[in-house]
Amino acid sequence: MANLTLVQAINLALIQEMELDDRVVLLGEDIGRNGGVFRVTEGLWQRFGAERVVDTPLAESGIIGTSIGLAMGGMRPVPEIQFEGFLGPAYDQLCSHAARFRTRTRGRFPMPITVRVPVGGGIHAPELHSDSPESIYVHTPGIKVVMPASPYDAKGLLISAIRDPDPVIFFEPKRIYRAFREDVPEDEYTVPIGKARVVTEGDDLTIVSWGAPVVDCMNAIEAGGRSAELIDLRTLYPFDMETIAASVRRTGRVVIVHEAPRTCGLGAEIATRIMEECFLSLEAPIQRVTGFDTIMPYYKLELDYLPGADRVGRAIEEVLAY
Amino acid sequence: MPVEPVYRAEISRVSILDEHGRFDGALGADLIPDADVVALYEHMLLCRTLDEIAFKLQRSGRMGTYPQNMGQEAASLGAAYALDRRDWMVTCYRENAGLFWHGVPPELILLHWMGDERGNHIPADVQATPISIPIGTQMLHAAGLAWAEKLRKTGAIACTFFGDGATSEGDFHEAANFAANLDLPVIFVCQNNGWAISVPSRIQSSAPTFAQRGLAYGMESIQVDGNDLFAVVYVMRDAIRRAREQSRPTFIEAVTYRLRDHTTADDARRYRDAEELAAWEKRDPLVRLRGWLESRRLWSPDQEAAAKERSQSEVNAIVARAEGIAAPAAGDFFNHMYAELPDELRRQRDTMRTSSLGQDPSECSREPSPPPSPAHAH
Ligand SMILES: Cc1ncc(C[n+]2csc(CCOP(=O)(O)OP(=O)(O)O)c2C)c(N)n1
Ligand SMILES: [Mg+2]
């Protein structure tokens, strides 16, 4: 066991997958000598050389587009997009090509690409360095979307993502890159894509969240003292409805928490699925604590935007009031 | 002859005041009146002081991430000096010197990096767009602005700034292509400072110059010593003439160097050699210009001391203005979302919540409505 931060756990997963499979290549901006702007790839360029840890020209469309070619050519590219706000130029290659290649070639060209992307707010970063665009990609058929909320899951999920035969966007919640440590096995292990994690068990309500807000939910539960079952979704597509439904059938009450804007956020899909599959168990309307339907504000106001423990705590009391 | 050259090209480099203080009297004569050189130097000094204070503000927690401009002042300042007030400056984040000269209040730039969107509210009479964060995108906006000015026959033009790294983005190429093929009066100023964060410029281009990128799209292209204020003004005047009189774009590669980290979140020692930095410190545009002024007896140590003091107190006042602006109200980020805020968004703003809107838990204890009475049941 090693006691690691989320950054270190990802770093370890990358090292181990690169040792194991020489088809794995990393590409992105500043990931080489500099070890990435968040130091996620620290030491990898020195260890594996500039052929496998590649500083590319400053072009996100280029990074994803060439990853597609690398994948077709038999490699397992792990591109990094420096911040979620710069997925914009990569969108076309991701959604018009990576997501569709397997289907439109009837399986001839699968896309084993893992796109690593730091995501979310709360670090006092400039504009376009704090967004939560996960729903856009959840809504894009052909892509899997993963977002770990703990070092253990980060390592296991990243290994699964790299080994997965389909394109995976691996969102890394930057607010908790170094927020806490956790025991992480030094050996390789996988956390399956598509399986949620029950963080705390409880009887009175179910909270569904992912990414950095999972920590806010834990704080809200601790402060409020209610018996809440907290589910960390971990995989956003395909998400684990089974775990959610089993919990909701027991508790009858649900709060969904995410940082992304509310309208058409993944919370909307989860709420609908709960309504469809657990209608007879529901005791209260499902509550959503989310980002507002606005542009993510500059950092002076980012705490007003983020669904912090206070707002989660209030929603918990409100679903219990029914 | 079955194989013959169909195209040959060459790129010129313009230098007027070089790093050793040598001044090209032919090109430099009457380029900038002495009094203006003094004013430009003082402005550079102010920007340098502001840059150093901004760095300290970040280190002491009074400001967020900040990209220092130190060493790159001459390129944007020379451009702004050559432009008219009616012309557009469309920049990224290393153009403070030019933006301030063009009329952008310095406290706005500080406010921006202090995480306050109001820092982007540029006064209506200043022709500048706010700092552009996604790299390589703003050049298209400049092409569009130039296009609008052309359609409206105002005679105004647009000048856009970007880094060496930015020329790798697809949008740059689209902007250059639009500008050249639609005859747009826009000037592309590439500040080639050798680095895009930790990535050296040879990863962005294998050609000997970045100016060739403009040439490839069929526009006049030139390289200039970006730390030489005189040379920048010289090439800008030429480009401005071409834009105003012929509605043709120009690509200017201004060769320069950032003397500090990429931003306060960066540590350039991880990837840059100390010798490289030392060599460029000798080419500092501020020191160079002061040397020129001194050699012409236009500047004395006393004046230098006084100017330093002035810029210090002026920067203190700028910081006080930026910090004196009261924090925005909690719901402020809703207010400019749309011309008219949709009802749903208004509700989110007024309640600052996204949950349980419009439903009251007390309603669920309401008695179910009574069944219809048998008398009426047919
Ligand atoms: C589309 C996009 N990708 C990545 C980034 C992150 N980033 C910010 S500055 C920078 C390097 C820019 O280099 P260059 O264009 O040479 O300008 P310089 O900073 O050297 O002035 C990068 C990669 C960004 N802001 N936007
Ligand atoms: Mg650069």
Q: What is the pLDDT of residues B135-184, one digit of tens each?
A: 999 999 999 999 999 999 999 999 999 999 999 999 999 999 999 999 99
Does B164 contact ligand 1 (Cβ within 6 A)?
yes
The H-or-E segment that residue A55 falls in is strand A53-55
Task: Determine the 3-state secondary structure of A26 from DSSP.
Answer: strand
Query: Confidence band (pLDDT; 50, 70, 90) for B355?
Result: confident
Q: Which residues of A touch B169 (CB under 8 A)?
A: 58-61, 89
What is the per-residue pLDDT for B378?
A: 47
Among the bound ligands, the one closest to the CA of B135: 1
User: Which pLDDT score is estimated for B372?
Assistant: 58
Partnered with residue A172 across adjacent β-strands are A118
Q: Give the pLDDT band of residue B356 (cuts 50, 70, 90).
A: low
Asked if B352 lies within 8 A of A297 by C-beta distance, the reply is no
Give the ligand 1 atom nearest the CA of B67: 19
Q: What mean pLDDT comes out for the span B31-52?
A: 98
CB contact under 8 A, B330 and A301: yes
| pTM for this predicted structure | 0.96
SS3 content of chain B, % helix, strand, coil (to 5): 50, 10, 40
Q: Per residue in B247-287, pLDDT tens? A: 999 999 999 999 999 999 999 999 999 999 999 999 999 99
Written in H, E and C, the secondary structure of B201-261 is HHHCCCCCCCHHHHHHCCCEEEEEECCCHHHHHHHHHHHHHHHHHHCCCEEEEEECCCCCC
Residues recorded for chain B? 378
The nearest CA of chain A is from the CA of B166 a distance in Å of 7
Q: For chain A, give the longest Cα–Cα distance.
A: 60
Spell B47-60 as b/e; 16+ CB within 10 A means b: bbbbbebbbebbee
ipTM, 2 dp: 0.96
The per-residue pLDDT for B371 is: 58
pLDDT, tens only, A105-162:
999 999 999 999 999 999 999 999 999 999 999 999 999 999 999 999 999 999 999 9
Residue B345: its chain A contacts at CB < 8 A? 292-294
Query: Closest ligand to B262 CA?
Result: 1
> Span B61-79, mean pLDDT?
98
| CB of B201 closer than 6 angstroms to any ligand 1 atom | no
- Atom from ligand 1 closest to the CA of residue B195: 20
Percent residues over pLDDT 70 in chain A: 100
| Closest ligand relative to A62 C-alpha | 1
**Chain B interface mutation, best of A127, A128, A132, A256, highest count of B Cβ atoms under 10 Å:** A127
Pick the ligand that lies closest to the CA of residue B197: 1
Interchain contact, A29 vs B64, CB within 8 Å: no
> Across-strand partners of A287?
A255
* Residue of B167, B348, B355 for testing the chain A interface, max A β-carbons within 10 Å: B355
pLDDT per residue as tens digits for the range A185-230: 999 999 999 999 999 999 999 999 999 999 999 999 999 999 999 9
Using the mean position of ligand 2's atoms as its centre, give its distance from the Cα of residue B270 in Å.
Answer: 16
Which residue among the candidates A124, A129, A139, A258 is catalytic per the annotation?
Answer: A129
How big is the A-B interface in CB pairs under 8 Å? 140
Cα–Cα distance measured from residue A189 to residue A198, given in angstroms and rounded to the nearest whole number: 19
Residue B376 has pLDDT above 80, yes or no: no
What are the tens digits of pLDDT across the range B80-108?
999 999 999 999 999 999 999 999 999 99
Query: Among all residues of chain B, which has the CA nearest to that of A304?
Result: B330
What token pair was written down for B371? 């069944």
Shortest distance between the Cα of A107 and any Cα of chain B, in A, equals: 30
Contact B359 A32 (CB under 8 A): no
Atom 19, ligand 1: residue with shortest CA distance? B196
Instruction: List the domains of chain A with CATH numbers.
Output: 2-184 (3.40.50.970), 197-321 (3.40.50.920)
A139 is catalytic: no
> Over 70: is that where the pLDDT of B375 sits?
no
State how far the Cα of A70 lies from the Cα of B264, in Å rounded to an integer: 35
Residues in chain B closer than 8 A to A126 (CB atoms): 64-65, 113, 115, 133
Name the minimum distance, in Å, from the CA of A106 to any CA of chain B: 30
- Per-residue pLDDT averaged across B213-240, rounded? 98
Cβ of B70 below 6 Å from ligand 1 = no
pLDDT over 90 at B367, yes or no: no
Q: Enumerate the residues of chain A whose CB falls inside 8 A of the CB of residue B334.
A: 292, 294
How much of chain B exceeds pLDDT 70, in percent? 94
With CB atoms and an 8 Å threshold, state whether B116 touches A298: yes
Q: Which atom of ligand 1 is nearest to the CA of B93?
A: 21
Place of tokens 């000269």: B101
Mutational test site, ligand 1, from B66, B72, B94, B135, max ligand atoms within 8 Å of CB: B135
In chain B, residues with a C-beta closer than 8 Å to the C-beta of A57 are 165, 168, 199, 203-204
Q: Going by CA atoms, what residue is nearest to atom 20 of ligand 1? A: B196
**Which residues of B carry out catalysis?**
258, 262, 271
pLDDT single digits (tens) B115-135: 999 999 999 999 999 999 999
Residue A181 clears pLDDT 80, i.e. is over it: yes
CATH numbers and ranges of domains, chain B: 13-323 (3.40.50.970), 337-364 (no CATH)
Among B94, B79, B162, B80, smallest CA distance to B126 is for B80
Which are the contacts of B302, defined by CB distance < 8 A and separation ≥ 6? Answer: none
Nearest to A287 among B114, B349, B355 (CB): B355
pLDDT above 90 for B357: no
Closest by Cβ to A315, choosing from B117, B332, B355: B355
Of the pLDDT bands very low, low, confident and very high (cuts 50, 70, 90), residue B377 is very low
What percentage of chain A has pLDDT greater than the value 90? 99
Residues of chain B contacting A252 with CB distance shorter than 8 Å = none
How far apart (Å, rounded) are the C-alpha atoms in residues B114 and B108? Answer: 10
